[in-house]
A = this chain, B = another copy of it.
Amino acid sequence: MQLKEIGEFGFIERFKPHFNDLLSGDIIGIGDDCAIIPANENEDWIVTTDLLMEDVHFLRQSISPFQLGYKSLAVNLSDIAAMGGTPIGSFLSIAIPKDLDVEYLDRFMEGYHKLSQKYNTALLGGDTTKSLKHLAINVTVIGKCSKGKARKRSDAKIGDVICVTGSLGDSAGGLQLLLDGVRTNTFHDYLLNKHHQPEPQIKEGIFLAKENGVNAMMDISDGISSDLKHILKASKVSAEVDIQSIPISDELRNESVKYNWNAIEKATSGGEDYELLLTVDPKDYDRVSKDFKMQFLKPLIKIGTITEGNPEINWTDKGKIIELSASGFNHFK
Contact = CB atoms under 8 A, between A and B. Distances in A.
A123 B29 contact: yes
A89 B11 CA distance: 20
A105 interface: yes
A48 B29 CA distance: 18
Nearest to A79: B125
A132 B53 contact: yes
Contact of A56 (B24, B122, B130, B331): B130
Contacts of A326: none
A37 B89 contact: yes
A122 B24 contact: yes
B29 A125 contact: yes
A234 interface: no
Contacts of A12: 128
Interface string A112-146: 01001100111111111111111010101010000
A50 interface: yes
A53 to B, nearest CB: 5
Contacts of A49: 91, 93, 125-127, 138, 140
Interface residues of A, number: 74
A95 interface: yes
B51 A127 contact: yes
A36 to B, nearest CB: 9
A105 B11 contact: yes
A323 interface: no
Interface string A82-113: 00000011010111101011110110010001
Interface string A4-26: 01101001101100110011100
B128 A131 contact: no
Given A37-B142, A47-B124, A53-B136, 11 more contacts: A1-B102, A14-B106, A18-B113, A19-B113, A35-B124, A47-B142, A49-B125, A51-B95, A53-B129, A131-B136, A140-B140
19 contacts: A5-B102, A8-B128, A12-B128, A14-B102, A15-B106, A15-B113, A22-B116, A39-B45, A48-B125, A49-B91, A50-B93, A53-B132, A53-B136, A93-B138, A96-B332, A133-B133, A136-B138, A140-B140, A142-B142
